[in-house]
Homo-oligomer: A and B are copies of this chain.
Amino acid sequence: MRNVNSRLSTQEYLRLIGVAELPPLTSPFDPGYDPVTVESHLDQSAHLMASLKISMACWQIANETATRRKITAARVHNVPAVTGGGPFEVAVAQGQLEVYLDLCADLGITRIECGEGFTELTLKPREVVKMAHERDLAVQYEMGKKHEGPFTEKSVEEAIARGHAWLDAGAVQLVVEARESARGVGAFDDQGSLNTAFVDRFAEEFGFDAVMFEAPNKPSQFAFLEHFGPRVHLCNVRLEELLRVEIFRRGLHSDAFAITKLQPVHPGSQTA
């Protein structure tokens, strides 16, 4: 029995109620928040972030000082700062990939995302990864198309083939597209239902360490955690929703407490 008078940290309390310790498993994104808010979210939740996406092209048109503040804050908290796939595709299409990579490196970005969501890429994965590595930038690759509707069996297999090609070329992680809506795109049908057979394919093929799933809203976040349990790596979570995702992941949300895969172990059944 603990001494009632001693102070208990929130972390110790979580252990007492049977919540398993987990590594950071969510990669939230900054959809264009102000830098003070981003910094303060990092203060609050850096230990829950596998990486932080500085989103879309917002950072290119913001005051550069604000952009640098966000990236620096991520680095201070040892959270890899990642740029999105959109600016990569635009850079390639406009013939300025080298300059884009120079810019990312100079800003202090840790990792870039590559993709073919709304353009075609003629460069080989190996060439792109090489150019990134020359600038100390890691690479992740997003599988899926933004404007072609939900996956089909054929497009899932094509996406998987591309994922392998990028991992083989040196990419560190893969992303499964769901955009901002999780509806009519990727593994989500037009009603927003998750095609579990499709996401199981990605998980079996790459494992939870290599593949992460975009889960931009509450239904998609809960669907992935309910299906896969607490070890699934989620991304595209808005910063202000990160804590809600993480309490669901740990069975501490009222809708998660009864889900066998997620619920905390009952203390009586624990080995101290």
Contacts and interface: CB of A to CB of B under 8 A. Distances in A.
A120 interface: no
A98 interface: yes
A146 interface: yes
Contacts of A255: 118, 146
Nearest to A180: B218
A245 to B, nearest CB: 9
Contacts of A43: 34-35, 63, 65-66
A210 interface: no
Contacts of A103: 8, 10, 13
Nearest to A48: B61
A59 B250 CA distance: 13
Interface residues of A, number: 79
B61 A14 contact: yes
Interface stretch (A161-169, A226-234, A263-271): A263-271
Interface in A46-100: 46-48, 56-67, 86-87, 89-91, 93-96, 98-100
Contacts of A41: 34
A258 B98 contact: no
A267 B95 CA distance: 7
A106 interface: yes
Contacts of A239: 34
Contacts of A264: 90, 94
Contacts of A66: 40, 43-45
Interface of A: 2, 4, 7-11, 13-14, 16-18, 31-37, 39-41, 43-48, 56-67, 86-87, 89-91, 93-96, 98-100, 102-103, 106-107, 117-119, 146, 239-244, 246-247, 250, 252-255, 257-258, 264, 266-268
Q: Which 8 A-B pairs have the closest CB atoms?
A: A34-B40, A32-B243, A44-B66, A57-B252, A58-B243, A36-B40, A17-B94, A57-B247
30 contacts: A7-B106, A10-B59, A10-B61, A10-B62, A10-B103, A11-B64, A13-B96, A13-B99, A16-B96, A17-B90, A17-B94, A17-B96, A31-B240, A34-B43, A35-B44, A36-B36, A36-B40, A40-B66, A43-B65, A44-B66, A45-B63, A48-B61, A56-B243, A58-B246, A61-B250, A86-B252, A86-B253, A93-B257, A94-B264, A95-B267
